[in-house]
């Protein structure tokens, strides 16, 4: 009797048809989850994925960072003047601790003669709460949850701060973007997902050129005199990440130059930039600090800034020329203009030229309006020139280039 009960209580083995049904159910569920993930997600950062669409090993020089790159380095100026195939690899939200991942990813597809590393992402304090938004914006460019874990764990290691990397939303994009349910009703979004989500070079966004995003807004700035002797220290995470990156480049034989784009720096920024100078000397790596050389660049603080942390097109061209002067003096680059293997640069340049002219016209209008406002104000009330310039700016509408869903740093 007992044997009979045991036999009856045993679970029946899963039959082949049942196993097939289970597998089909799991596969369908996974596909639906993945499709919704892609549908809810924003279009992937064009700066991250453009170079994957480029022919392999065609990028001669790359500048890596965040908006401190894509608002500053004008790749098309390098192309038009020297035929250099360069790329502005800036991802919104990227901090210094992320830079080594950006470089390693690019080196899977390209073999640049030189990598220029923007150091401003290594400056400043580090905290869990302060980095949450930036980390979200960076890691969401990576679909692989294990890669996201690696990036978060690396940040913890560099900074000594325990980042809240156990949150499920960091690893599952669908949860991260659950508020984007409206994308379900956007037909263009469905088309993007079906086509694979990658950008077509034949339909270039008029504000994005080999990573560079044109800035056509004028916001006057001011800066304190640069003191090369005032030096502080980088935060633990920034210094550890910078040293790790330089050691890695030395190990693999990658030529690297540290750069710092011009902006309305503070005294704390200046002290940390000078700390970078000391580290660069220790590793025998060039450091082009445009903040120290703003007069050499010819930066006009009344006309060349997009905001306190970025230049507009006028400032970007000056900064790009500053970098190109060094690059062309220290490296031998082939002029690729007319080379069929580099036709994508020709295509982007054809789109860039009218966009550049439109931006220059917009900037000129704003500068003239600010000057007119200054003259009127001085004649009427004797108010300060700086106040009138700021007032004039507020009345001018900027035709700012669309950065899709990427935000400024």
pLDDT tens, position by position, 49-75: 467 778 899 999 999 998 899 999 999
Tell me, yes or no, whether 185 lies in a domain: yes
Does residue 274 lie within any of the structural domains?
A: yes
Q: How far, in Å, CA of 405 to CA of 48, rounded?
A: 13
Q: Which two tokens stand for residue 406?
A: 């990427």
Q: Are strands 86-90 and 61-65 parallel, antiparallel or unpaired?
A: parallel
Residue 206: the pLDDT is: 37
Structural domain includes residue 403: no
In a domain, 363, yes or no: no
Strands 86-90 and 114-118: unpaired
- Tell me, what CATH number does 346's domain have? 3.40.50.1110
> Would you state the pLDDT for residue 64?
96
- Whether 288 shows a pLDDT value over 80: the answer reads yes
Q: How confident is the model at residue 265 (pLDDT cuts 50, 70, 90)?
A: very high
Annotate 275-322 with DSSP letters as a single string: HHHHHHHHTT--EEETTTTHHHHT--TTTSEEETTEE-HHHHHHHHHH
Contact 212, 70 (CB under 8 A): yes
The H or E element that residue 99 is part of is helix 99-107
Report the candidate in 199, 66, 231, 192 with the shortest Cα–Cα distance to residue 134: 66
The radius of gyration computed from the CA coordinates of the chain, to the nearest angstrom, equals: 25
Question: What was the pLDDT predicted at 7?
Answer: 52
Residue 129's pLDDT band (cuts 50, 70, 90)? low
Closest CA to 117 of 71, 78, 79, 61: 61
Q: Is 6 part of any domain? A: no
Q: Name residues whose C-beta falls within 8 Å of residue 160's C-beta, 6 or more positions apart in sequence.
A: 236, 237
Q: Which residues on adjacent β-strands are paired with residue 213? A: 208
Total domain count, the chain: 1
CA dist 409 and 406 (Å) reads: 9
Is residue 290 assigned to a domain? yes
Contact 69, 90 (CB under 8 A): yes
Q: Is 61 in a helix, a strand, or coil?
A: strand
Q: How far is CA 174 from CA 16, 146, 153, 364, 393, in A?
A: 33, 15, 21, 44, 41
Q: Give the domain range for residue 178.
A: 44-353
Q: Read off the tokens for 145.
A: 């949850």
pLDDT above 80 for 328: yes
Residue 227 lies in a domain: yes
Cα–Cα distance for residue pair 148/275, rounded to 1 Å = 30
Long-range (24+ apart) CB contacts under 8 A made by 138-142 are: 138/91, 138/92, 138/93, 138/94, 138/95, 138/98, 139/170, 140/41, 140/42, 140/173, 140/176, 140/177, 141/44, 141/45, 141/48, 141/91
pLDDT at 186: 59
Alpha-carbon gap, residue 362 to 29, rounded angstroms? 51
Q: Is 181 helix (H, G, I), strand (E, B) or coil?
A: helix
Give per-residue pLDDT as tens, 201-248: 333 343 479 999 999 999 999 888 999 999 999 999 999 999 999 999
393 in a structural domain: no
66 Cβ contact list (under 8 Å, min separation 6): 90, 91, 92, 93, 94, 95, 118, 120, 121, 409
Q: Tens digit of pLDDT for each residue in 133-191?
A: 677 778 777 767 788 888 888 988 898 877 654 466 666 665 555 455 555 555 665 56
> Could you tell me how far CA 335 lies from the centroid of its own chain?
26
The crossing angle, in degrees rounded to 10, of helices 128-139 and 145-159 is 150
| N-terminal to C-terminal alpha carbon distance within the chain | 75
Question: And the tokens for 171?
Answer: 């690893």
Q: Is-above-0.85 flag for pTM?
A: no
How far apart are alpha carbons 146 and 148 in whole angstroms? 5
Can you say whether the dihedral through the CA atoms of 8, 10, 11, 12 is positive or negative? negative
**What average pLDDT does the segment 365-383 reach?**
69
Name the percent of the chain lying above pLDDT 70. 71
């Amino acid at each position: 009797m007992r044997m009979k009960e045991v036999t009856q209580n045993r679970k029946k083995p899963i039959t082949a048809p049942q196993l097939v049904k289970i597998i089909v159910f799991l596969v369908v569920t996974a596909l639906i989850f993945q499709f919704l993930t892609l549908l809810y997600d924003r279009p992937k950062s064009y700066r991250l994925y453009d170079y994957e669409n480029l022919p392999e090993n065609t990028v001669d020089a790359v500048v890596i960072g965040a908006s401190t790159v894509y608002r500053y380095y004008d790749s098309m100026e390098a192309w038009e003047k020297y035929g250099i195939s360069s790329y502005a690899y800036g991802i919104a939200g990227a901090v210094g601790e992320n830079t080594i991942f950006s470089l390693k990813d690019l080196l899977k597809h390209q073999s640049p003669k030189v990598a220029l590393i923007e150091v401003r992402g290594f400056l400043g304090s580090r905290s869990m709460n302060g980095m949450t938004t930036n980390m979200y914006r960076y890691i969401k460019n990576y679909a692989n949850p294990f890669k996201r874990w690696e990036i978060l764990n690396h940040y913890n290691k560099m900074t000594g701060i325990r980042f809240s990397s156990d949150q499920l939303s960091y690893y599952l994009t669908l949860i991260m973007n659950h508020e984007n349910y409206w994308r379900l009703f956007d037909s263009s979004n469905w088309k993007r997902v079906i086509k694979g989500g990658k950008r077509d070079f034949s339909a270039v966004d008029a504000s994005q050129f080999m990573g560079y995003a044109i800035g056509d807004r004028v916001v006057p700035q001011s800066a304190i005199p640069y003191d090369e002797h005032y030096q502080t220290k980088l935060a633990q995470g920034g210094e550890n990440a910078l040293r790790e990156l330089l050691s890695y480049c030395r190990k693999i034989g990658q030529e690297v130059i540290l750069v710092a784009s011009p902006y309305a720096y503070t005294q704390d920024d200046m002290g940390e930039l000078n700390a970078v100078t000391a580290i660069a000397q220790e590793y025998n790596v060039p450091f082009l600090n445009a903040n120290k050389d703003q007069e050499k660049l010819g930066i006009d603080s009344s006309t060349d800034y997009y905001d306190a942390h970025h230049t507009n097109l006028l400032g970007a061209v000056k900064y790009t020329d500053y970098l190109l002067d060094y690059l062309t003096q220290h490296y031998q680059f082939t002029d690729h203009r007319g080379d069929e293997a580099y036709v994508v640069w020709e295509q982007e340049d054809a789109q860039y030229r009218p966009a550049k002219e439109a931006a220059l016209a917009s900037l000129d209008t704003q500068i003239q309006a600010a000057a007119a406002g200054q003259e009127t104000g001085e004649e009427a009330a004797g108010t300060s020139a700086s106040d009138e310039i700021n007032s004039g700016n507020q009345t001018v509408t900027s035709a700012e280039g669309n950065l899709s869903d990427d935000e400024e740093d």
